[in-house]
Structure 1
Amino acid sequence: MHPRPGECALSTVATNHLLAASGEDGGFHPPSIAEFFPAPFLFEGTPFEMNRIILVRLLVTAVLVLVFVLAARRAKLVPGRGQNVAEMLLDFVRVNIAQETLGHNARRFVPMLTTIFFAVLAMNLTGVVPFLNIASTSLIGMPLVLAAWVYVMYLGVGIKKFGVGGYLKNNLFPPGLPPFLYVLVTPIEALQVFVFRPATLALRLTANMIAGHLILVLCFGATHFFLFQASGAMKAFSAMSLVAGVAFTLFEILVAALQAYIFALLAAVYLNMAVEEEH
């Protein structure tokens, strides 16, 4: 059952104006989880159902591909400002994430880690882009896809290097422990390798983006309410909520970048653990 449009507070003053003008906004509506399940507007009831979040994801993907294709075609020996920024970010992933974590194994995983970093960063930042106003990673589907990619890769490279038996031995039976402790340690290690690593990757990212979106909706929704619907001295609170909204917007940009870094870094750590001789 999809929520009615009037139940979903949106995180921009412009959208709140539209709600007020259409008569759907009869008061202050606190943010709710319904925001993350928007009603479909195309192909409803089919596997190709399209809603607002899916549209944002498609737009982000198209923009990322376009930016990197244009950057590659227009690359110059003496880079301009835009090329400098792009190269700085690419070098950050290659050096600070891949090389520092994976060492001599870094080169083979740089394309994957670069894709993950920029995809997560761009989809996180849609939460503060006007008229998009929701992080594409705030619904669990996309984080799960990225976590599954990391999961398949670290299992694949580990099994390819050590074989199934060798990989399980390296990961489930830590060397140096007395054999009787394996009864306790091996089930914990199995949960960590096969469940906790991919699950925490996806859940950490999703939870942070959900929390950030709800805070922004609360701040800007309160600003609209105090400014346009409250009476008397209550209107003064709109300035406070607006300042809080701007501050949290800047903080959300920082969180978006930090979560992209953490996701890519943990992916590199898991890949490194998969190809190491001992843990």
Structure 2
Amino acid sequence: MIALTLPAQDGGSFTPPSVSSHLTPFFSIGGFEVTKQMILVALSVVLIAWFFVAAARKRQLVPGKLQFMGEMGYSFVRNSVAKDVIGAKDYRKFVPLLFTLFFFILVNNLFGAIPVLQLPSFSHVSGAYLLAVIVYITWIGVGLKANGLRYFKLAVVPSGVPWYILPLVVPIEIISNFVVRPMTHSLRLFATMLSGHLIVLIAGSGIEFLLAQESIWLKGTSLLVLVGSIAMYMLEALIMVLQAYVFVLLTAIYIEGAVHADSH
């Protein structure tokens, strides 16, 4: 956290809350600093791997609870995202990517709703940028493989547009598809996770501040803030799940557009 100290009327100082783009590292290995977010990302990989290995270890015709949950999660990504968006003919090869992205983002988001951990990994923008770059390279590569260099023309020249409008439309399409798309893809995830995390933190700080006051009325007001913070906490948990779905859904849409660029 970064604090800005301002002079107060009573001769003391006032330190308003603020947020830093970097957390204080837990420890360093040589010149490499290890932060809480790095540890949570590594933990998410371990948890996801453990869960699905355990779910698939003892496969049965009538699945147990763990196997049922694993199969339900896989089927959701496979059928409701990959197959429905990309199409029954081409979706299979992209299921591993979409499956990995969904559960990786989901678990890292849900860390923000777990007491003690209380930090969504993608409230740090670098992680969101990295995932967006991976998706960006993937769908461009898919478009080139499916359509050759002609893909760039298909991506920026909409079919059926009169030739005299193309000088206006083509620059817009270039900016929209190759600049704005990856930026919004990453910032949507980052901004949502950061803002929700800050709202919950501010509500918690407000409760602490009100309880520290001498007035009984202000102490009582802390109960209202508590009720509101619980509601925001539940809403944030829902948004954590939705953002994982939205990120993967957009990835599938971008891949579908690259695979079938000649038919759009």
The TM-score normalised by the length of structure 2 is 0.90
Cα distance 1:171–1:200, how it changes in 2: closer, same or farther (>3 A)?
same
SS of match in other structure, 1:59: helix
Displacement of 1:85 in angstroms is 2.1
RMSD: 2.2
* Counterpart selection for 2:215 from 232, 242, 260: 232
- Looking at structure 2, the residues matched to 216 and 124 of structure 1 have their Cα atoms a distance apart, in angstroms, of 14
| Structure 1 residue 87 corresponds to structure 2 residue 75 | no
**Which residue number in structure 2 is paired with residue 161 of structure 1?**
146
Unaligned runs of 5+ in 1: 8-25
**Which residue number in structure 2 is paired with residue 18 of structure 1?**
none
**Contact conserved, 2:56 with 2:67, CA < 8 A, in 1?**
no
* Counterpart selection for 1:147 from 123, 132, 143: 132
Cα distance 1:84–1:218, how it changes in 2: closer, same or farther (>3 A)?
same
- Looking at structure 2, the residues matched to 80 and 225 of structure 1 have their Cα atoms a distance apart, in angstroms, of 48
Displacement of 1:75 in angstroms is 3.0
Indicate the structure whose relative CO is greater, using CA pairs within 8 Å and at least 6 residues apart. Answer: 1
Cα distance 1:237–1:113, how it changes in 2: closer, same or farther (>3 A)?
same
SS of match in other structure, 1:49: strand
**Which residue number in structure 2 is paired with residue 40 of structure 1?**
25
In the alignment of these two chains, the number of paired residues is 255
**Contact conserved, 1:28 with 1:222, CA < 8 A, in 2?**
no
* Counterpart selection for 2:164 from 176, 180, 193: 180
The letter of the residue matching 2:28 is F
SS of match in other structure, 2:128: helix
Cα distance 1:101–1:244, how it changes in 2: closer, same or farther (>3 A)?
same
Cα distance 1:249–1:42, how it changes in 2: closer, same or farther (>3 A)?
same
Which range moves more in the overlay, 190-199 or 115-124? 190-199
**Which string of whole-angstrom CA distances, capped at 9 and with x for unpartnered residues, describes residues 45-67 of structure 1?**
82x31112222222222211221
Displacement of 1:27 in angstroms is 11
Displacement of 1:37 in angstroms is 1.8
Displacement of 1:278 in angstroms is 2.8
- Looking at structure 2, the residues matched to 73 and 27 of structure 1 have their Cα atoms a distance apart, in angstroms, of 59
- Looking at structure 2, the residues matched to 29 and 58 of structure 1 have their Cα atoms a distance apart, in angstroms, of 34
- Looking at structure 2, the residues matched to 99 and 172 of structure 1 have their Cα atoms a distance apart, in angstroms, of 26
| Structure 1 residue 267 corresponds to structure 2 residue 229 | no
1:101-120 aligned at under 5 Å gives the runs 101-103=85-87, 104-120=89-105
* Counterpart selection for 1:64 from 13, 32, 48: 48
Cα distance 1:213–1:30, how it changes in 2: closer, same or farther (>3 A)?
farther
**Contact conserved, 2:54 with 2:66, CA < 8 A, in 1?**
no
Displacement of 1:77 in angstroms is 2.2
**Contact conserved, 1:97 with 1:268, CA < 8 A, in 2?**
yes
**Which residue number in structure 1 is paired with residue 113 of structure 2?**
128
**Contact conserved, 1:223 with 1:238, CA < 8 A, in 2?**
yes
The letter of the residue matching 2:233 is T
Query: After TM superposition, what 4+ stretches of structure 1 lie above 6 angstroms from structure 2?
Result: 26-29
Identity %: 38
- Looking at structure 2, the residues matched to 38 and 258 of structure 1 have their Cα atoms a distance apart, in angstroms, of 26
Cα distance 1:230–1:99, how it changes in 2: closer, same or farther (>3 A)?
same
The letter of the residue matching 1:197 is R
**Which string of whole-angstrom CA distances, capped at 9 and with x for unpartnered residues, describes residues 58-108 of structure 1?**
222221122122222133221122322222221111111111101121111
* Counterpart selection for 1:256 from 224, 237, 240: 240
**Which string of whole-angstrom CA distances, capped at 9 and with x for unpartnered residues, describes residues 2-61 of structure 1?**
747x99xxxxxxxxxxxxxxxxxx999764222x42111222782x31112222222222
